[in-house]
Amino acid sequence: MLATPTNLQLLINVRNQGGDVMQENITANVSEDTITLEFMRLDGVFVSQLVDFTNEVEAMKLIIPGEEELGQTGHQTLCFLTHAAQADFIAPDAMAKLRQKNPGTIRVAEEDKGWRQTTASAWAGRAARLLSAAAARHCGAAPDRAMLRAADLARWAPRPGACSHLTYTTPQITAPPKLMPSLL
């Protein structure tokens, strides 16, 4: 009897617009219906994006190192939850079937989709668990720094059991709590 793996991983070498080569790690979890993309930016910021297809939730996690010149040690973790439009992503079952003939090849994007700017105006708090168990685990290192957009709250509020928790845990704030001064 063969066991089917639930996590399949793809490592891709990517050349960015500045000509620098970075390695991206894409993981498809078929059993949880999620995709995770991870990479390290040149400035040392680790970016991890999880898309939960079942719950239509995207979780963007940033791990930002402290600035030694300012006497900052350690790092801080921020997480942003947004509604995921499924048409913008490749489904985990399709991703799991992808293979690379030449894994060492440096890839260049065929299309530049530009920047996506969003304003996270609400604190997610415990609501992350109600929206997506996978996103809550993904953002577990940043429970007090998980933010979401007010527009997405309106989209998610009709979910059973979500209304009271979403309204209760979303105070309006201008910056996530306890940010390092250099990042404000």
What pLDDT does residue 53 have?
A: 93
User: Which pairs count as long-range contacts for 128-133, CB under 8 Å and 24+ apart, including other chains?
Assistant: 128/59, 128/81, 130/159, 130/161, 130/162, 130/165, 130/166, 131/55, 131/57, 131/81, 131/156, 131/159, 131/162, 132/52, 132/54, 132/55, 132/57, 132/59, 132/81
Q: What is the pLDDT of residues 132-161, one digit of tens each?
A: 899 999 998 887 888 888 888 778 777 665
Q: What is the pLDDT of residues 156-176, one digit of tens each?
A: 777 665 544 444 344 443 444
- Whole-prediction pTM: 0.76
pLDDT at 64 over 90: yes
